[in-house]
Structure 1
Amino acid sequence: MSLIEYLAPYDFSPLTVLSFMLVLGFYGVGLLRMPEEDRPGSVRIMVFVLGVLIAYGVMQTRFDYYSQYMFFVHRGQHLVLHHLGPILIALSNPLPVMRFWSRQISPGLKSRLRPLGWLYRFLQHPLIASVLFVGLIYFWLWPPIHFDAMLSRNLYWVMNWSMLIDGILFWWLIFDPRPPATTPSLGYGKRILLLALVAIPQMVLGAMIVFSRGMVYDVYEVCGRAWPMAPETDQLLGGMLTWIPPAMMSILGILIILRRAMREDGSFTSRSSQVGETT
């Protein structure tokens, strides 16, 4: 298979392709319209583009074919959609770039879009966000639901899009760049607590799959596997991908939050000492 054939969509979705094109297009135009001194650095730009592209890659390349016929590849797909891609997007902080488009919205349209703001604030409540983040993983891996999702094209797309959107919402809550001391953003201690809490049920679920004695997800037996791999091995690898990498990403997130908190505390201490010297 050539590289072009691999990169071509296995199951072409015009809505998916258009959505990713619009996101990159809006981001690019926003960059060009921003004052040069306000533009993010090249690293942040590359991190954002990488996060978008890998999410696109697992949804609209040949990777999507293997994720439908191998359980462990499917878990890798959701690892990207729910964790890695959204983490990169959130860390790149694209909001200042996208803010250009918010200024183009008329007051009348803003008032009609206000319910979306209420929904966003509801979903970003720490309890709701964490329950939804873990709950979606359990929901889509519940064997009867997973069986139906892998056999229904529409439900399959709902599953993947829900994982991506929820991942972006959760990791944006965690990596919100606004300092909690001066803004209504979530405090650093609460962010660390959320990361620890959501890691535990994911580890439990992954361990349950790994140590299961029978086949939990027989849909891959019904449809056949893309590679001649033993079903037990496929399930074992999928369980490990559900267990270990998400826990590691929670630890990485905690380290990033701790670094931010220490840096912010250091800058606050420095400003306080400067004010004391001047007085």
Structure 2
Amino acid sequence: MIGLNWLAPYDFSPATILGYVLVLGFYGYGLLKMPEDNRPGSGRILVFVVGVMLCYGVMQTRFDYYSQYMFFIHRGQHLILHHLGPLLIALSNPLPVMQFLYSRIKPGIRRALSPLGWIYRFLQHPAVASFLFVGLIYFWLWPPIHFNAMLSRDLYWIMNWSMLLDGLLFWWLILDPRSPVSGNALGYGKRILLLALVAVPQIILGATIVFSQGMVYDVYEVCGRAWPMAPETDQLLGGLITWIPPAMMSILGILIILRRAMREDGKAFPYSEKLKATHS
């Protein structure tokens, strides 16, 4: 019974449940229907499901209750929604499944969905994507906005969904499995630069919260905390979660990109082949 209480939604949202069911349902349908040669391996499928379920867990289990009444748990919630969950989903490379599902859509429906493609390409512009990635964190942590978001059920859901969707867009841009040599994907160097650039303002924001004098987010005093923790400790832990793990995620992303670039065997950096030929 204790386990069921932890897994049961604190604030039941039919739209959220439906969204996650549709994502897993369409993904499973694509896996079953697509040719076996194009089907991702079990490891990639597992990473995708884990990423989706982590996001679901922080939105529709008892975890969500503590996120609303403890600042540091809230920051952990957004760490998963904006960083870890989307990174795992993008790392699993669901592109073959997405392409297969798209090929099953009727041409008329594709034409009707074409405006979404324009919006997607705009949001995936490197400058726009990086600005939104950092800007949304600052926006929702601006004390007056954060106060209202934690007291308004509708605004709270908008906040969480915006963090999740923005995280998916950004990490897909960074971990796009297509090679920049043979496709239109963003170059590896630009991806590394973006990861470094978005880390800096997150570090500054986290450090500002950690070293701030007095309470920055007093909404948790108004609503009461789930645990008898000192407000200063709660804010300190929340600031550290805002500061350190996102920076580590950027470093992890850079290492993944460097590994991919090295596996290109010189294709990502074409001058290396010329240097080899010169020395030979």
Instruction: Give the alignment's TM-score, normalised by structure 2.
Output: 0.95
Which structure 2 residues correspond to residues 118-157 of structure 1 after superposition, within 5 A?
A: 118-157=118-157
8 Å CA contact 2:181, 2:267 repeated in 1: no
Offset of 1:266 from its aligned partner?
A: 4.7
SS state of the match for residue 265, structure 1?
A: coil
Mapped partners of 1:148, 1:113: distance in 2: 34
The aligned counterpart of 1:108 is 108
Return the letter of the residue paired with 1:226.
A
Offset of 1:265 from its aligned partner?
A: 2.6
Q: What is the aligned length?
A: 272
Does residue 1:224 correspond to 2:224, yes or no?
yes
1:89-137: per-residue Cα shift (whole Å, max 9, x none)? 0000112112222122211111111110000000000000000000000
1:56-77: per-residue Cα shift (whole Å, max 9, x none)? 0000000000000000000000
8 Å CA contact 1:71, 1:220 repeated in 2: yes
The aligned counterpart of 1:190 is 190
The aligned counterpart of 2:213 is 213
Offset of 1:173 from its aligned partner?
A: 0.1
The aligned counterpart of 2:63 is 63
Mapped partners of 2:266, 2:112: distance in 1: 43
Return the letter of the residue paired with 1:211.
F
Offset of 1:247 from its aligned partner?
A: 0.1
Give percent identity, aligned residues only: 77
The aligned counterpart of 1:201 is 201
8 Å CA contact 1:26, 1:98 repeated in 2: no
Mapped partners of 2:10, 2:94: distance in 1: 29
Mapped partners of 1:178, 1:54: distance in 2: 25
Mapped partners of 2:210, 2:168: distance in 1: 27
Return the letter of the residue paired with 2:9.
P
> Which blocks of at least 5 consecutive residues in structure 1 are unaligned?
none
SS state of the match for residue 217, structure 2?
A: coil
Cα gap change, 1:16 to 1:116, in 2 (>3 Å): same
1:127-173: per-residue Cα shift (whole Å, max 9, x none)? 00000000000000000000000000000000000000000000000
Mapped partners of 1:125, 1:262: distance in 2: 25
> Which blocks of at least 5 consecutive residues in structure 2 are unaligned?
none
Q: Tell me whether 74-83 or 31-40 shows the greater mean CA deviation.
A: 31-40
The aligned counterpart of 2:42 is 42
Mapped partners of 1:4, 1:74: distance in 2: 22
Does residue 1:253 correspond to 2:253, yes or no?
yes
